[in-house]
Amino acid sequence: MRHALALAAKGHAFVEPNPMVGAVVLDSAGQLAGEGWHQKFGGPHAEVFALQAAGERARGGTLVVTLEPCCHHGKTPPCTDAVLKANIARLVVAMADPFPKVAGGGIAILRAAGVEVHVGLCEADALELNAPYLKLLRTGRPWVHAKWAMTLDGKIATRVGDSKWISCEESRRRVHELRGQMDAIIVGRGTVAADDPLLTARPPGARVPVRVVFSASGDLPQRCQLRATACEVPVIVYTANAHKLEGWVADGAEVVAISDNAMSLDAVLADFGRRRFTNVLVEGGAGLLGSLYDEKALDEFHIFIAPKLIGGRDSHSPVAGKGISQMADSLALERVTFEPSGADVYVHGFAPRAQPA
Ligand SMILES: NC(=O)c1ccc[n+]([C@@H]2O[C@H](COP(=O)([O-])OP(=O)(O)OC[C@H]3O[C@@H](n4cnc5c(N)ncnc54)[C@H](OP(=O)(O)O)[C@@H]3O)[C@@H](O)[C@H]2O)c1
């Protein structure tokens, strides 16, 4: 199962909004006979690749798969048919698939056909691997990643808003790699005004993320890189003042009107869910990250700490918003790793409630 999970992870950024799935076939003597993984959205499922690779050796053997085989006609035929056709004797799955058209149905069909089925091996790892897919299914909201680069004194820009560059080249390369795995890159109006970012993945990755701006006021610059390139890479602006952004629409951006001036973040996240965005990356600034922190809407953190100092009472820190008053209420990241990234340190971790229950 550990090997199947490692195979599944190869599908990251290629399969979403589908889950990552890996599969291994052992022949009747327990020897590895075939393996496979779900390689791209709409493509064949992991079981199909593994069974094809095993061929006749699958007969009377064991199929080990990280997620329950599907039992419905989606973009491909049901995997349960392929499992039965291959005469598999035993099925070991890490977890049932909560996808409504499956939801235990695949397991039930195979059991009814006489296949010996075991569920739950390495379940916690499988839940962790597909946490974004599972969150989107359960809540209709995407998995929200936060990224910022800060100095040793906890600043993301100088007192006049200059932030180019805080992190080193290697850290910026990693951020571009991350962007290429996302469905959307999100910033607030302040960041567009201060940095005029392009927000594309350079070089391109597996996905082309939509570039998203939050601006209740609609007071965005008339000229900026996002607007100038809106026909090439999609741009969506969420605003309470859509009438101010007709020029952006004419230039190819999509403008989504949010009715309340407070810009309900949940309404925007729900809209992302309707678009089947699975992973989104918030790149700041402090105002937007602060609101998301206050709403407990952040799931995963990518923080680059540069050995530099900026100083200044008025220089931005990464997370504004209301914040908390008691340390007991602070968000303590889990599964935290610290890694050198050129001259910087890359801190990666998860919000605790992001842990599967
Ligand atoms: N070092 C880094 O990693 C990094 C990354 C990004 C930015 N920065 C720096 O951060 C600074 C900008 O930060 P900032 O705090 O001024 O701007 P920001 O967070 O980028 O933008 C804040 C704006 O976002 C809009 N917004 C819409 N809905 C919101 C909501 N629910 N909550 C909060 N904001 C919402 C508001 O625009 P309206 O006023 O139109 O309503 C608000 O004024 C710049 O100096 C930039 O260089 C640094």
Q: What is the pLDDT of residue 151?
A: 98
Q: What is the pLDDT of residue 104?
A: 84
End-to-end CA separation in angstroms for the chain: 21
| CA 126 to centroid of ligand 1, rounded, Å | 35
Number of domains making up the chain: 2
What's the pLDDT at 300?
Answer: 98
pLDDT score, position 277? 98
d(CA 323, CA 190): 19
Same domain, 197 and 327: yes
Note down the domain range covering 79: 2-129
How far apart, in whole angstroms, are the C-alpha atoms of residue 266 and residue 276? 15
The candidate with the shortest Cα–Cα distance to 317, out of 115, 154, 88, 153, is 154
pLDDT at residue number 264: 86
Residues 107 and 195 occupy one common structural domain? no
Q: Ligand 1 pocket, 285 CB below 6 A?
A: yes
Q: Which residues of the chain have pLDDT under 50?
A: 355-357
Question: Is the distance from the beta carbon of residue 230 to the nearest atom of ligand 1 less than 6 Å?
Answer: no
Q: Say how many Å lie between the CA of residue 332 and the centre of ligand 1.
A: 23
Residue 143 and residue 119 in one domain: no
Query: 129, 154, 177: which is the final residue of a domain?
Result: 129
Check whether residue 286 and residue 173 sit in a common domain. Answer: yes
The CATH number for 279's domain is: 3.40.430.10
Q: Is 190 in the pocket of ligand 1 (CB under 6 A)?
A: yes
- Whether residue 270 sits in one domain with residue 303: yes
- Are residues 91 and 155 located together in one domain of the fold? no
Cα(214) to centroid of ligand 1, in Å? 8
- Beginning with the edge strand found earlier in the chain, give each strand of the sheet holding 90-93 in spatial order: 32-37, 22-26, 62-65, 90-93, 116-119
**Residue 76 pLDDT:** 82
Q: Contacts for 221-228 with beta carbons within 8 Å, 24 or more apart?
A: 221/192, 221/193, 221/196, 222/247, 224/192, 224/196, 225/196, 225/197, 225/198, 226/192, 226/197, 226/198, 226/199, 226/253, 227/251, 227/253
Rounded Cα distance, 184 and 6, in Å: 26
175 in the same domain as 120: no
Q: What is the pLDDT of residue 357?
A: 40
Q: Is 47 a catalytic residue?
A: yes
CATH of the domain at 66: 3.40.140.10
